[in-house]
Amino acid sequence: MPSKFRLRRLPARHAGLVSALILSVMMTFVVSGIATARGLGFSDGFVRAWIAAWGLSWIVAFPVLLTVLPVVRRIVAAIVERPPA
């Protein structure tokens, strides 16, 4: 039976912001997990320390990503050939 609940989609103009949000969440989650495991090992406090490290790193990473994304796009545009129109 199909669900009656359906999420509304955001307008296409928000794609860049949503991409940056999802990218920052996923990357900081993985990187903070690796750094926490390396620093503490898989001890009893690992998950709590990982979540704390992830939260702090995401708070920093998301605004940094939004700030540097236009620069990265310009660099990529300078390096990568455009497809023919």
- The per-residue pLDDT for range 56-81, each reduced to its tens digit, is 999 999 999 999 999 999 999 999 99
Token representation of residue 48: 């709590």
- Asked whether the whole model's pTM tops 0.85, one would answer no
Instruction: Using DSSP, state whether 14 is helix, strand or coil.
Output: helix
Looking at residue 41, what is its pLDDT? 93
Question: What is the Cα–Cα distance from 29 to 70, expressed in whole angstroms?
Answer: 23
What does the H/E/C string look like for 11-68?
Answer: CHHHHHHHHHHHHHHHHHHHHHHHHHHHHHCCCCCHHHHHHHHHHHHHHHHHHHHHHH
Nearest to 10 by CA among 22, 2, 26: 22
